[in-house]
Amino acid sequence: MTDVLSVASECAPLIKTGGLADVVGALPSALMQEGLRMRVLIPGYPAVMAQLSETRSVLEDPDLFGGAARVLAAEAADLDLLVLDAPHLYDRPGGPYIDESGADWPDNPERFAALSWIAARIGLEGVTDAQAEGGTWRPEVLQCHDWQAALAPEYVHAMGGTGKVGTIVTIHNIAFQGLAEASRLSALRLPPERFTPDGFEFWGRISALKAGLTSADRLTTVSPTYAAELMRDDYGGGLDGLLRSRRDHLSGILNGIDETVWNPATDEHINRTYRSARGKAPNTAALRGAMGLPEAEGPLCVCVTRLTEQKGIDLLIEALPRLLRRGGQLALLGSGEARFEDALREMAEREPNLAVQIGYDEVLAHRLIAGGDAILVPSRFEPCGLTQLYALRYGTVPLVAMTGGLADTVINANAAALDRGVATGVQFHPVIAETFGVAIDQLCDLYARSDLWGQLQRNAMRQPVGWGPSAQAYAALFREVAPAA
């Protein structure tokens, strides 16, 4: 059995700010079916520590970037965890990355360098484990998620461990690179000779993500289309040249969803269970009641998202009147930039067919997905996206921008796809307000045709959205990069 350590800054259901956590939380179970054992290393934030019962110390570090730390082994939420208990870095109010005022923690570079440092140590030294051969468990592969874990391969090399443990960096969103000033080189325990354009220097600063991209054995990202987009100068965030140079080491493996958590037949959060699209009606009625929306002739659209430009919220605001004129409605859950929160609140005060809840509520997210006729995802770029996968599972027709994983997971309702009876949603391109508005008209036209709409819903619910094929691809990759016995 190949042993893998997944290194991440968040993991559902213990701590979550976005889709990264869902992927990290779901992948271990999927890989177990492929004969791999995956443990998850995450920081010991207060929210995580509060959910641990029995723990045992398996590794200690007396001076981890400013204080003593230890690694605790524990099991929670059916996950085999290694938790980095470093109170000087993680025991504080606020979120994983920001303080209570919404500002980034100023020591974030050190906080996540510590996570990467410990990951490298575990990859080379292992941890105490009475059940393992020789009393030590050591992974054969480190899977390092995003910039917060991307220094681990760099540290493996710095510790002289090249070839002793396989390393993979998985890019969930290249827009966040973990930049730090060059003056922190020593504080971050980074070799100065690697601070070059061919190493981890990025326009005069340290890039944690670039360190991983240049030093890891293999690179992955979360959809085939996003992998191709990253090698373009308009998507690669300044790292497109590097990624083109490593194209033979880059794979796009589509995310899946946890089909036990997102299952319309067993979902405890929704109005009633259903095994076909016919069960949506009571959930739609319940959602309208909960959000204060009246009955309407057009589709009840939903949106569960961060309120940022990346997610196309400005496009949504501009195109929304078109949906409302067609008799449609929108129920939105999300938070983000204050200008978008304020604009949506103001529109909701004037528009009876628009309901907005600022913040995040997991139960309401399930009810929106279950009750909506359609989900709107106008992202300018979307590495994979999970909400459209949840929507497909529940027969909620996705209207999405044709980018990244959205392009890979939704079959556009063009004439050919409708004639063949295979369409699952609506795509639009280019990603501008006008084409989004045209796609809204198309959605409303399809909704008015009950035969076509029913076919879309049935196709959506039959679409594979689980981890099966992707887990097989990951398993093959992990075995490939694991050092030979």
Residues making up the binding site: 16
Record the tokens describing residue 247, joined without a space.
């194209």
Nearest to 475 by CA among 84, 29, 89, 130: 29
Greatest Cα-to-Cα distance within the chain, rounded to the nearest angstrom: 69
Q: Which residues are annotated as a binding site for ADP-alpha-D-glucose?
A: 16
What would the two tokens of residue 101 be?
């005022």
- The DSSP element (H or E) to which 273 belongs, if any, is none
Residue pair 120/159 in contact by the 8 Å Cβ criterion: yes
Neighbours of 306 (CB within 10 A): 16
Give the C-alpha distances (Å, rounded to integers) separating 377 from 132, 260, 385.
46, 23, 9
DSSP string for 209-270:
HHHHHHHSSEEEES-HHHHHHTTSTTTSTT-HHHHHHTGGGEEE------TTTS-TTT-TTS
Q: Can you name the residues that pair with 251 across neighbouring β-strands?
A: 220
Mapped onto helix, strand or coil, the DSSP state of residue 465 is coil
Sequential DSSP letters for 89-148? HH-SSS-SSB-TTSPBPTTHHHHHHHHHHHHHHHHHH-EE-TTSGGGEE--SEEEEEHHH
- Tell me which amino acid residue 333 is: L
Question: For residue 346, what are the CA distances in angstroms to 245, 286, 326, 399, 436?
Answer: 48, 24, 21, 24, 22
